[in-house]
Structure 1
Amino acid sequence: MSAGELPWQGGCRCGQVRIKVSAQPLLTMACHCTGCQRMTGSAFSLSVAIPSEGFEVTRGEPVIGGLHGATRHYFCPHCMSWMFTRPEGMDWFVNLRATMLDDPSWCRPFIETWTSEKLPWVSTSAVHSYAALPPLESYEQLLADYARHSEED
């Protein structure tokens, strides 16, 4: 699961919004919730959690879209690509849609969430699966396991 050398570059479909990642990912995941299914137009959303200090929008101004609630989903204002999410109360990371990276080929989900809502024919290579979200107390161990798993690949 080698992600290659940092920094990584990425952007929306039309290129008006560009991003830079300068920190190793904390975790990769596939979310099977019906909200992600609808926002991606796919069976799940593939994402990579990046420490906030290692994430930067380098061009353009993303806009809030999706559900306009406390958890903020950011989109390109022109092509409307869903680019990243800043979950409420978790300002220490950005949940980047992995496919916004110029090279997302390395990104395999380490965990999958909301399997209670997944489409019956979907399977991933995730190491850990959760019917909803992992319990809050599990994240410290998951992050450590992901770091070890990433080094081994």
Structure 2
Amino acid sequence: MRVNVLRAATIARTHFRPESFYPDSAVWPFNPSGYPWRPVNSEEMSMKGTDAQTSDQQTGGCQCGRIRYAAPSAPIALYVCHCTECRKQSASAYGISYTIDRKSLEILGGAPAIWTRVTASGHTLECAFCRDCGSRLWHQSTGYPATLNIKAGSFDQPVDLSDAIHIWVSSKLPGVVIPGDAVTFMREPS
């Protein structure tokens, strides 16, 4: 029997809601680490609300479009992180973190869920993601209460990595080439 893969994917995308099979939040979404996740609202994430976007902002969101946000056009810092956790969360060679003032992020639509984990430095990292498509959108650390890091791949327009700071280069994958003039740190900058 032949299966129309495109039709099957469309049916799964539009009709399958894992939470209906796993109503207990401890098992949905799949969470092998055992760290808790929970839905949050914008006030809990220390954000402004839904003000209109201005010219000094850029927009982004999750893959399915349910969660939308606006953030400053210029970051405080732009990091390419080569640590194993960022590689896992991005399912790629590194993660890209666009650091902004925590209060400057504006939620334009939707509400993220939160998954937490302990960082290598002992802080708690709260990771915001879309419960529908699973896209990681940003994270904030108890060790840096004034800032948060947007996952730069979630912006509508690509970011320029020319001046990015490369961190945790001690964990970078073989074959990843870091520009010779890039600022680098073997671990996390202090």
Distance 1:31 1:103 in 2: 20
Runs of 4+ in structure 1 over 6 Å off: none
Task: Give secondary structure in 1 for the equivalent of 2:170.
Answer: helix
The corresponding residue for 1:131 is: 186
Map 1:1-150 → 2, pairs under 5 A:
5-22=55-72, 24-65=74-115, 67=117, 70-108=124-162, 110-125=164-179, 127-134=182-189, 136=190
Distance 2:73 2:145 in 1: 15
Distance 1:95 1:39 in 2: 13
Distance 2:149 2:163 in 1: 13
What is the aligned-residue identity percentage? 28
Whether the aligned pair in 2 keeps the contact of 1:28 and 1:108 (CA below 8 Å) is: no
**Greater RCO (Cα-Cα under 8 Å, separation 6 or more):** 1
**How many aligned positions are there?**
131
Task: Give secondary structure in 2 for the equivalent of 1:71.
Answer: strand
Kindly report the root-mean-square deviation, in angstroms, between the aligned alpha carbons of the 2 structures.
1.9
Q: CA deviation at 1:53?
A: 2.3
> AA paired with 2:77?
L
- Per the normalisation by structure 1, the TM-score is 0.77
Distance 1:108 1:15 in 2: 28
Distance 1:116 1:30 in 2: 13
Distance 2:99 2:89 in 1: 18
Task: Give secondary structure in 2 for the equivalent of 1:14.
Answer: coil
Q: CA deviation at 1:24?
A: 2.8
- The change in CA–CA distance for 1:53 and 1:24 in structure 2 (over 3 A counts) is farther
Distance 2:167 2:126 in 1: 19
- Per the normalisation by structure 2, the TM-score is 0.63
The corresponding residue for 2:21 is: none
Distance 1:16 1:52 in 2: 21
Task: Please tell me whether Structure 1 or Structure 2 has the larger radius of gyration of its CA atoms.
Answer: 2
Task: Give secondary structure in 1 for the equivalent of 2:98.
Answer: strand
5+ residue gaps, structure 2, are 1-54
Write the deviation string for residues 65-123 of structure 1: whole angstroms up to 9, x where unpaired. Answer: 26377211111110010110101231211100111110024344521111111101112
